[in-house]
Amino acid sequence: MTTVPRKWLVEKLVCKQHLNVEEREMLGSKLVNLSEVKDVIREHLQNEKFFPPVEISKPGQKFGYEGYIIEKVKDNSFKLHSQTNGPLGDFREDKIVGEFNSVNAVLEVFFEHTSNIDGIKIEKD
């Protein structure tokens, strides 16, 4: 079995929200530390507007993702969205949960609603 650095596995889990069976075995546990996950998200938001990564092809388009989404409005300004979809994956509702002036503040609220990723538990440090 090929091995890859733990950091790469955590990045893939956090950004793609999935690890395959071989990657789960390489991770070596059924949990990741909250600090590892937050580091990946902080790094991601330095270069991207949304976490989890979402694609928006035209202005005004909704995310097409169900759950909580962090939007970087400016360098130190963030919105936390809660979005629900209908039974056919059609957009239902986008609600702004809050606006925050630091990445740490938005992450605290984000993780009040998230305890695992793809069945892998996030352990608070």
Along the chain (125 residues), what's the average pLDDT of each consecutive run of 10 residues?
86 91 89 94 92 65 70 91 71 81 94 88 88
pLDDT at residue number 8: 94
Task: Kindly report the pTM of this predicted structure.
Answer: 0.81
Helix (H, G, I), strand (E, B) or coil at 83: strand
DSSP for residue 91: E
Helix (H, G, I), strand (E, B) or coil at 19: coil
pLDDT at residue number 1: 62
